[in-house]
Structure 1
Amino acid sequence: MEKAIENNKETYRLQGLSCTNCAAKFEKNIREIQTVNDVQLNFGASKLTVIGEATIEQLEEAGAFDGIKVLPENQRVKEVKIPFWKKAENKNTMASLIFLIFGYTSMYSFGEAHLATIFIFALSILIGGFDLFKEGLKNLTKLQFDMKTLMTIAIIGAAVIGEWSEGAVVVFLFAVSEALESYSMDKARESIRSLMDIAPKTAFIRRGHQEMELDVEDIKLGDILIIKPGEKLAMDGEVIKGQSSINQAAITGESIPVLKTVGDEVFAGTLNEEGSLEVKVTKLVKDTTISKIIHLVEEAQAERAPSQAFVDKFAKYYTPVIIMIALSIAVVPPLFMGGDWSEWIYRGLAVLVVGCPCALVISTPVAIVTAIGNAAKKGVLIKGGIHLEEAGRLKVIAFDKTGTLTKGTPEVTDIKVLKGQEANDLLGIAMAIEKFSQHPLASAIIRKAEEKGISLNDYKAEDFQSITGKGARALVNNELYYIGSPKLFEEMSHLPSSVEAEIKALQLQGKTVMLVGTDQDIIGMIAVADQVRDSSSKVIRKLLEIGIQKTIMLTGDNQATGQAIAKQVGLSEVKADLLPQDKLETIKSLREQYGKVAMVGDGVNDAPALATATVGIAMGGAGTDTAIETADIALMADDLNKLPYTIELSRRALRIIKENMTFALGLKLLALILIIPGWLTLWMAIFADMGATLIVVFNSLRLLRVKE
C-alpha cells in the first residue's frame, strides 16, 4: 500500500499564485501533509506536482493564506478574466486609499493625535492590510520571517509609537506593490497560456463509417480528421487526402505557409489556409508536438538558473541579517547612547520595511519566465534558465555542414561532355546505371534526368555491378559503361591532364565530381553539390555583428568542399574529414580554448557533439523527437534564421537579470544609507521596496519586445 502511495503522482494547475514567497510557503504547507512524499512547485508555469496522496481540498487548505485555487491538469476550465480594478483585493486597496486621504484631511483639520484622525488611519490600515496581518501574525507565532511578517511588525510598531499616518501609507503602498507584482507575473505567464490555447479542444473526425465531433482527449490513433479551409488542426497526423497550404507559425515561428500533400506530416495548432484535407491521426493529444513544447517550456521555467540559485541562497541569509540590523538600530542607541526610544524604534522599523527581499527574489524568475515564453512563441524551444544564461555567454559557435548550413539534398550543378555524346545522352546513361544505387549522389542524377524529361525506356541497363567506394558499372543499350570517382578511372586508364585540371577546378568550388565512360575512354563528367541554404551567409554575418568571436564548420566532407562552402557563407574556420567521434573531440578542444561553445546540428547524427557543447542547438525540432530530446535549445523550424534572435534574447535576458539584481540591492543600499542622518521615513522605505520590485518586473517585461 505504501509503495502505491509513493508511486502516485498527480499534476495540478494553480490559480491565484501571486508571489515567490507565497509559492515557497504553499510548497512547505503541502510537505506537511502526512500522505505526501514529495512536491514540485513550478512558480513560473503556476503548476504543482504532488507525489503521494492529497485531495484538492487539502491542497487548497494549504494555499488558503493566498487564496490559491487548485485544478486537475487536464480539467478544462475557462479562466474568467477579472479586470484589474474589480479584483476583491484591489477594491480593498482603493478603499484603503480613500480612508488614507480622509485621514490626512482630518490630520490637517484636527491634528495627528486626534481620536478621529487615528480612527480613520486605523480603518485604512485594517481594510488594506487585513489579509497581510492575518498571515503576518500567524507567521510571527511560528517565528517564520517572510515579507509579510516584516511588514506586520513594521506597521504594528508604527501604530505603537503613534505613527498612524505612516502605517497607513505603508499598508497602501505594500498592497499596490503586491497587486502590480501579481499583474506582471500574470502578464509573463500569458506566453504559456497562449501556447495552450493554440490547438482546438475538439475536432471533427471520421471513425469507420461514422463522422462525429469529439474532444481531443477522446480521439484515437488512426482516426481521420476532416479539416476544412480556415480551420486549425487539433492533432498531429499524416495527410491522406487533398493538398493545402498550412501556416505553421504556431510551431515553427515561420509565418510563410508550407504546401502539404498526401504523405506529409502536419501538426496540431497549425492553420489550414485553403484546401480541404483528410489527416490520419498519428499521435495522441498528450504526445503532439505542441503538447511537448508546452511541457518543455513549463519544465524550463521551473529549472533554476545559476543566478536564481545564487539569489535564493543569498536571500536565505539576507532576511535574518536585516532583522538583526533593524533590532540593533531600534535597541542599541536608546540603551547605550541615550537615544530617544520612539525615534530609534521608528528607524528600526524603516530598516525592516526597506530590507524586504521581494525585489531581489523575483529579479531572476520573472526575466526567465518572460524570455522562455517569448522564445517559444517565436519557434525557439529553450529547455531551461541555465541554457538561456549560457547562450548569452557564448563566444564560439560550431556548425554541422550537411542539413544545417546546406540543404542536405545534393543537386547536379555541371554536366560536361568530353567525347562523342550529347549532354542528355550522358545524363541518360548515368541515370540508367544509378537507378540501381542507393547513394545520395545517385538520387541527384536521377532527379536531374527526370527534370530534363529523359525516359528510362530509352536507356536500358543490365548486369549492374557496384564497385565499393568507387562507383558502379552496367550494360547500357548493350555497351559497358562505368560511373564513379576520378580514382576509379585513374585505376583503369591514365587521366588526361586537361581532365584532371577540370576535376580540380570543380572540386575547389566544393563540388563532388563523377566521371562517366567506358574502360577505354571518358565521355563526360557530372558535378554534384549540396546547395548552401539561402539564409546561411546572412545568419553568419549577423552572428559576427552581435559579437560571436568565431564561427566554425565541422564536416565529414573533404577539405576542398569544406573550404568552398565556408568561403561562400563567411565562416572563420573549417574542420574537415571528421567522424562523429572527431566532432566530439573538436568541441572538447574548443571548450578548453574558448570556454563557452555552442554546437548547431540536426540532432540525429550530431547527438554526441550536441551533448558535449556548452549549449547544444538542434534544427528542425518540429516532428523530430531526437532534436527536442538531445538539444538544450531547439529551433523548431528547419532554418538558421532564428539563431541570431536566440543569442540576442539570451544576452538581453542575462543583462536584464544583472540590472535587476543591481537595482534591487542598489535601491535598498541607498535607502539604508539614508538611515544614518535619519532621513529615511517609513513611507520612503516602502516606496523604495515597491519601486525596486516594480523596476525589476517592468524591466523583465521588456524581454517580450525582443524582435527577430
Structure 2
Amino acid sequence: MPDTHEWLVTGMDCPSCAAKIKGAVAQLPGIEAVEISVMSRKLRVTATSHATSPADIENQVKSLGYGIEAIAQAGGARTEADEHTTQTAAPWYRTGKGHLVLLTATLLVVAWGVALLLPDAGNWPFIVACLAGLIPVALRAFAAIRAGQPFSIEALMTIAATGALFIGATQEAALVVFLFAVGELLEGVAVSHARDGIRALSTLVPKTALREKNDMLEDVAAAELVPGDIVIVRPGDRIPADGTIISGTGGVDESPVTGESMPVTRGPGDPVFAGAINNETALRIQVTRAAADNTIARIIRLVEQAEDSRAPTQRFIDRFSRWYMPSIVVLSALVVAIPPLFFGQAWSVWVYRGLSLLLIGCPCALVISVPAAIASALYAGARHGLLMKGGAVIEATAAIKTVALDKTGTLTMGQPEVTDILCLDQHSTAEVLALAAAVEKASNHPLAQAIVRKAAGMALPPVQDSRAIAGKGVSAMLDGQIITIASPRHAMQDGALSSTAAAQATAMESEGKTVVVLYTGTALALIGLRDEPRQDAQETIRQLRSLGVTPIILTGDNQRTAAAIAAMLHTDYEAELLPEQKQQTIRELAARGPVMMVGDGINDAPALKQATVGVAIGSGTDVALETADAAILRNCITDIPALIRLARSTMGNIRQNVSIALGLKGVFLVTTIIGMTGLWLAIMADTGATVLVTLNALRLLRTKPAGLAQKN
C-alpha cells in the first residue's frame, strides 16, 4: 500500500521554489505523487515503495536550501487550525534571507568605504562582498542541477555574478548579489502577508472550551471536543466547535465565518459555526463536528486545495516558463559570441551584455504574477464568505454569460408556509395535516419542513419505509398502504387526481402557490404553500444584468408558480424540471457560453456539476464545501454578482501583472542588448517587477466586492 507523509517547508516563498522542490522530490525512486502548497507551506508525498524513506525526502528538500518539519498524521493531536497557528512568521531580520541581506549590505558598505579611503586597495573588498552573498545561491543552484533542474533562477544568478567577477565588474557583481538577496526577501515578506489571511482564519476558533460533563463544567482544549459533547458558551465568547443549540436564544455574530456582520438570532435546533461570537445570552450547544472537521478547518482546507486547481492562464505561463528560461540562456550565449566572433567586437563588452541579459531573463515576476493574485483573491473571498475552489474556477466565473438560479431556497426565502389545506374525502383538516407531516418528517426539502412546522405539537401516525422519489415527492407505508405526497402533475400520472381536484389545484397555483397532493389510490387532500421571493432577489437580478449576465430561473415547481415569481423579478424561467431535465437545460445553455448554476447543492447536484461553475448557497456548508465549484456561506443572493465581480477583478489584476512583468522584461531586453543598461539595472528591473506584481496582487487582500456593502 502506498504511504503518504506530510511536512511543513520553510523558506519557500514563490511558485518557482515550490516547482523546484516538487521536481526534486519527484526524481526520487518510488514516488507516486507530490503535492505542494506555497501558501500553507505543506508538502504531501505519496510513495509506492520503500525505496525512498521520509528521511531521504527530507534530505532532498534540505539540499535545496529549505527547512522541513514532519506534520503529525491523523490521530495526532494537531488540527488543521493548529498547524496554521503554529506557523508564526518571524520578523524579516530574523530569517535566513534577512540575515543574508544584512550581511551583503554590510560588506557592500564596507567595500565602498575601503574603495573611498584606500583607492589602491584593489577589488578584493567587492569580491568578498559578492562571494558572501553568492555562495548560498550557488549551493542552491548546484543542488537544483543535481535534482535535474539546470535552468533555475539561482543558476542564472550564479552564472551572471561569476561572469561579472571574471571580467572585472566586481562592484556591479557585489551589487547584483545584494539586490538579488533583497528581491528574495521582499518576495518572502509579500507571501507572508498573503499567508496572514489564512492564519487569521485559523485563530478564530478559541483554544479552550467549557464542556459540560456529569453535571459539572470543565475547561478543555477545543481540539479535544468530539461530536456529542455539550459545551456552554457565555456571552462575548467565541463558539469553540460546529454544533446545534440545545438551549438559549440570542444574537450570534457569524461575520468571522460568513461575512454577515449583522448578528443573526439563533435558538434551540439552530446550527452554529465554530469561530462565531455569542453576543447575548449563554448558549448550551451540542458539538456536531470534531475540531479537525469544523467549518473553519474545512474552509482552510478548501483554500489550500484550491492552489492545485490552476487557472488556464497560470498553466500557460508555467508551460511558457519551461522553454522561456532555456531560450534566454541560448539568446545570452548568442549575444556573447556573435558580435566578437563575426564582427570583431570586444569580448568584454558583449560578455557583460550577455550576463545582463541573463539577469533580465529571470522569470520571477512572470511566474508569481498569477498565483499571487489567485491566492489573494481566494483569501479575500473566504473572508467575506465567498469560496472558490481555485484559479480555474475564478477564471471561469469571470467569463460567465448566464446565471441559472434555482427558485426554492435560492430566489425565495426557502421558508414556505402552508396557506391552504383542501380535504377531498372524509378526513378532517387535522387528520390530513398529521398524516402529511408523518410522511414528510424525514425529508429536508423546504416544502416538507413547512408541513412539519404546521403540524408542530400534533400526534403523528407511525409510518415506515419513508423514501424520497427523485424529482417527484415522498412516500411512506402506513398500515400496509403506500401514502404519497407529490405535485399535481405526478398525482395525475398516478391516476390519483380527478379533473375537479386538478382544477382546484390550478386555481391555487394561479395565486402563486405551490400545491402538493396527499394521496393513496385517490387524492386525500390538496395542500397549498407559498414561498415569497427574497427581499434582495430583484436587486440581484438587476446587478446581474448590469454585469452583462443573463439570469434565468430553473425550477421543479409548476408553471404557474414559476411564472408568478419570474414576473415579479422580470426574468425568464423554465419550470417543472426534473433533476436530469435541469442538467439538460444547463447543457443547452452552456452551448451558448459559460453558465453558472446556483442552488442548494443537494437536489441540484446534477445541474451544479454540469454547469461551467456550480455555486452552492446558504447554510448547507457540507454540500457547499464538497460538491460545488464555489460556495456562498451567507444566506444572501446579492453575493452572486459579488462573486462574479471578485473573479473579474482578479482576472483584471492578473492581466495587469502579466503586462508589468512582460513589459519591463521587453524594455530592458532591448536596452541591455544595445548597451543602455547594465548588470545592476538588470537585477533592479527583475526585482522591481517581482515586487510590483506582488504588491499589486496583494491589493486583492483588501478587496470588498461591490454588492456586499448593503450587508457589511
- Give me the TM-score of the superposition, normalised by structure 2: 0.82
Per the TM alignment, residue 105 of structure 1 is displaced from its structure 2 partner at its CA by 5.3
Q: Which residue among 348, 353, 356 is the counterpart of 1:342?
A: 348
Per the TM alignment, residue 188 of structure 1 is displaced from its structure 2 partner at its CA by 1.2
CA RMSD of aligned residues (A): 3.5
For residue 600 of structure 2, what is the amino acid of its counterpart? D
Aligned to 2:7: 12
Counterpart mapping for 1:284-683 below 5 A: 284-411=290-417, 433-438=432-437, 491=500, 510-512=512-514, 528-548=529-549, 550-571=550-571, 573-593=572-592, 595-620=593-618, 622-683=619-680
Q: Would the alpha carbon gap of residues 562 and 279 (structure 1) be closer, same or farther in structure 2, given more than 3 Å must change?
A: same
Structure 1 unaligned blocks of 5 or more: 417-427, 455-464, 472-486, 516-524
Which of 386-395 and 651-660 deviates more?
A: 651-660
Per-residue CA shift, 1:495-529, capped at 9, x if unaligned? 9xxxx9xx86x8556345899xxxxxxxxx99742
Q: In structure 1, how many angstroms separate the alpha carbons of the residues matched to 2:624 and 2:215?
A: 38
For residue 651 of structure 2, what is the amino acid of its counterpart? L
Aligned to 1:90: 98
Q: In structure 2, how many angstroms separate the alpha carbons of the residues matched to 1:72 and 1:46?
A: 11
Aligned to 1:129: 134
SS at match of 2:413: strand
Per the TM alignment, residue 39 of structure 1 is displaced from its structure 2 partner at its CA by 2.2
Indicate conservation of the 8 Å contact 1:383/1:632, yes or no: yes
Q: In structure 2, how many angstroms separate the alpha carbons of the residues matched to 1:241 and 1:654?
A: 46
Indicate conservation of the 8 Å contact 1:129/1:175, yes or no: no
Counterpart mapping for 1:136-151 below 5 A: 136-139=141-144, 144-151=150-157
Per-residue CA shift, 1:344-388, capped at 9, x if unaligned? 000100110000111111111111111111111211221121111
Structure 2 unaligned blocks of 5 or more: 441-445, 459-481, 489-495, 518-525
Per the TM alignment, residue 34 of structure 1 is displaced from its structure 2 partner at its CA by 4.7
Q: In structure 1, how many angstroms separate the alpha carbons of the residues matched to 2:590 and 2:557?
A: 23
Per the TM alignment, residue 211 of structure 1 is displaced from its structure 2 partner at its CA by 4.0
Q: Would the alpha carbon gap of residues 494 and 388 (structure 1) be closer, same or farther in structure 2, given more than 3 Å must change?
A: closer
Q: In structure 2, how many angstroms separate the alpha carbons of the residues matched to 1:384 and 1:603?
A: 19
Aligned to 2:65: 66
Indicate conservation of the 8 Å contact 1:121/1:165, yes or no: yes
SS at match of 1:582: helix
Q: Would the alpha carbon gap of residues 35 and 437 (structure 1) be closer, same or farther in structure 2, given more than 3 Å must change?
A: closer
Which of 178-187 and 640-649 deviates more?
A: 640-649
Per the TM alignment, residue 615 of structure 1 is displaced from its structure 2 partner at its CA by 0.3
Q: In structure 1, how many angstroms separate the alpha carbons of the residues matched to 2:658 and 2:449?
A: 57
Q: In structure 1, how many angstroms separate the alpha carbons of the residues matched to 2:183 and 2:535?
A: 50
Percent of pairs with identical residues: 37
Q: In structure 2, how many angstroms separate the alpha carbons of the residues matched to 1:494 and 1:236?
A: 47
Q: Would the alpha carbon gap of residues 699 and 208 (structure 1) be closer, same or farther in structure 2, given more than 3 Å must change?
A: same
Aligned to 1:421: none
Per-residue CA shift, 1:436-463, capped at 9, x if unaligned? 4347879869978999xx9xxxxxxxxx
Whether 1:693 and 2:690 are equivalent positions in the alignment is: yes
Q: Would the alpha carbon gap of residues 216 and 642 (structure 1) be closer, same or farther in structure 2, given more than 3 Å must change?
A: same
Q: Would the alpha carbon gap of residues 295 and 413 (structure 1) be closer, same or farther in structure 2, given more than 3 Å must change?
A: same
Per the TM alignment, residue 689 of structure 1 is displaced from its structure 2 partner at its CA by 0.8
For residue 539 of structure 2, what is the amino acid of its counterpart? K
Q: Would the alpha carbon gap of residues 264 and 306 (structure 1) be closer, same or farther in structure 2, given more than 3 Å must change?
A: same
Indicate conservation of the 8 Å contact 1:402/1:555, yes or no: yes
Which of 649-658 and 176-185 deviates more?
A: 649-658
Per the TM alignment, residue 26 of structure 1 is displaced from its structure 2 partner at its CA by 2.2
For residue 650 of structure 2, what is the amino acid of its counterpart? A
SS at match of 2:237: coil
SS at match of 1:168: helix
For residue 67 of structure 2, what is the amino acid of its counterpart? I
Per the TM alignment, residue 14 of structure 1 is displaced from its structure 2 partner at its CA by 2.7
Aligned to 1:279: 285
Aligned length: 645
Indicate conservation of the 8 Å contact 1:326/1:352, yes or no: yes
Per-residue CA shift, 1:461-499, capped at 9, x if unaligned? xxxx9998799xxxxxxxxxxxxxxx979738999xxxx
Indicate conservation of the 8 Å contact 1:96/1:123, yes or no: no
Per-residue CA shift, 1:395-452, capped at 9, x if unaligned? 1100011111001232367999xxxxxxxxxxx985675444347879869978999x
Q: In structure 2, how many angstroms separate the alpha carbons of the residues matched to 1:640 and 1:672?
A: 49
Indicate conservation of the 8 Å contact 2:309/2:392, yes or no: yes
- Give me the TM-score of the superposition, normalised by structure 1: 0.83
Q: Would the alpha carbon gap of residues 513 and 327 (structure 1) be closer, same or farther in structure 2, given more than 3 Å must change?
A: closer
Q: In structure 1, how many angstroms separate the alpha carbons of the residues matched to 2:21 and 2:420?
A: 69
For residue 184 of structure 2, what is the amino acid of its counterpart? E
For residue 100 of structure 1, what is the amino acid of its counterpart? L
Indicate conservation of the 8 Å contact 1:600/1:619, yes or no: yes
SS at match of 2:231: strand
Indicate conservation of the 8 Å contact 1:45/1:301, yes or no: no
